Amino acid sequence: MKSLIGLILGMIFLASPVGAAETRIKDIVDFEGVRDNMLVGYGLVVGLNGTGDSLTNAPFTQQSLYGMLERLGVNVRGIDLKTKNVAAVMVTATLPPFATQGSRIDVNVSALGDAKNLMGGTLLVTPLMGADSEVYAVGQGPVATAAISATGAASSVTRGVPTAGRVSNGAIVEREIPFSLAQMGAMRLSLRNPDFTTASRIADAVNAFTRAGSAQAISPSSVVLTIPTASQAEWVKMITNIEQLSITPDQIAKVIIDESSGVIVMGEKVRISTVAISQGNLTIRITEAPQVSQPQPFSTTGDTEIVDRTTIQIDDQADRKVTVLPDSVSLQDLVRGLNALGVGPRDIISILQAIKAAGAMQADIEVI
């Protein structure tokens, strides 16, 4: 009974048309102004267990240590410091859109000098600046690394990168980036994968939802969204509704090949014209097996000699067949035909390039 039900369900599945997958507009576009901002800063990590910078090899660490202590009222100028518990680091963070003053963000810490390990260290107060040299956040806190490092007298083991770490919620936002949706009369939707068809479908979906013709595709990468002045206060609600609209993104026929790893990625739209494919190699194997020829025991005549024995084998793979792919075959038919020949990924790369050179592939090949 179970097998009969499974057979019926399988027949229903095979008979049902498979539609193209729909994607939310939110997942394929970026809204103008809603973007991240990169922050960077220079700071010190203290509390390391002898794995910090060597002050003789990292003068910037020494100068930073002098400056920090002087700001705290400690004068160490002229003193030869030999501590190895301090490391100079670069601190990076991403300021998310609409981050408010007082909110916290994560920061990444990376060693700048010859420090061996940042595990157990504490990042001191570090201003984080944007591209305009303004301070937008201040970071401080214990550094956590996901690496493991163990050293003995004769060997050492290291897994991961112990000179890079992270401080979760380690920075406080001090300055907000001004951005007002209510004052905008229009907003640009930027496609992450520019395409004329996809941009047009986005505009059609938005216009069908708003019923006001408020969206217009002006380029393959941009859709301009306008809203009446009386409704500008409802920008957030409108954007929320538009983000949830679903469309079917279009894609060009492309084959991506990574020759170094043998990875091949083919798009669904790849089509092949009528073409015959044969794959085979001529292999000549020469084996040398010299033998020793010597006279019979107790014989007074004859000499011991080495006799050459050579075996030559030729494999032209005559059992390989020619596969003919009919006109406009799909990706599945192409893969099935190549698998029927017993072709591996490396040989498939050469075959695809040969099909493209013959003009039988309606797709672009990109080698990375």
Tally of CA atoms within 13 A in the half-sphere of 307 that contains its CB? 7
User: Which of 177, 87, 91, 102 lies closest to 128 in space, CA to CA?
Assistant: 91
Q: Is residue 260 part of a domain?
A: yes
Same domain, 44 and 123: yes
Same domain, 44 and 166: yes
- Whether 104 shows a pLDDT value over 50: the answer reads yes
DSSP designation for 101: T
Same domain, 42 and 166: yes
Residue 147 CB partners (closer than 8 Å, separation 6+)? 117, 119, 158, 159, 160, 161, 162, 164
Tens of pLDDT, residues 149-191: 777 666 777 778 889 999 999 999 999 887 776 677 788 899 9
Tens of pLDDT, residues 18-56: 445 788 998 999 888 778 899 999 999 999 988 899 988
Domain region containing 191: 186-247
Q: Is residue 178 part of a domain?
A: no
Tens of pLDDT, residues 128-145: 999 999 999 999 999 998
- Average pLDDT of every residue of the chain: 79
Same domain, 124 and 234: no
Tens of pLDDT, residues 232-289: 557 778 888 888 999 988 888 888 888 777 777 877 777 777 766 665 554 445 565 6
* Residue pair 266/336 in contact by the 8 Å Cβ criterion: no
- Whether 313 shows a pLDDT value over 80: the answer reads no
Q: Is residue 152 part of a domain?
A: no
- Whether 124 shows a pLDDT value over 60: the answer reads yes
Q: Is residue 301 part of a domain?
A: no
- Whether 110 shows a pLDDT value over 70: the answer reads yes
* Residue 284: φ, ψ to 5°: -115, 120
The Cα 314–Cα 334 span in angstroms is 30
Q: Is residue 193 part of a domain?
A: yes
**Choice between 221 and 347, residue whose per-residue pLDDT is larger:** 221
Same domain, 260 and 221: no
- Predicted confidence at residue 328, as pLDDT, reads 57
**Choice between 179 and 14, residue whose per-residue pLDDT is larger:** 179
- Whether 3 shows a pLDDT value over 50: the answer reads no
Residue 353: helix, strand or coil by DSSP? helix
Q: Is residue 31 part of a domain?
A: no
Q: At what angle do helices 235-243 and 196-210 cross, to 10 degrees?
A: 120
Same domain, 63 and 161: yes
Q: Is the dihedral of CA 119, 121, 122, 127 positive or negative?
A: negative
- Whether 225 shows a pLDDT value over 70: the answer reads yes
Fill in the amino acid letter for 352: L
Residue 102 CB partners (closer than 8 Å, separation 6+)? 172, 173
Q: Is residue 6 part of a domain?
A: no
Q: Is residue 271 part of a domain?
A: yes
Same domain, 321 and 354: yes
* Residue pair 104/169 in contact by the 8 Å Cβ criterion: yes
Percent of the chain with pLDDT over 90: 28
Cβ-in-10-Å burial (0-12, 13-18, 19+) of 306 comes to exposed
Same domain, 163 and 198: no
Same domain, 363 and 266: yes
Same domain, 61 and 163: yes
Name the domain count of the chain.
3
- Predicted confidence at residue 12, as pLDDT, reads 34
Tens of pLDDT, residues 55-84: 888 888 888 888 888 888 888 877 778 888
Same domain, 166 and 260: no
Same domain, 196 and 242: yes
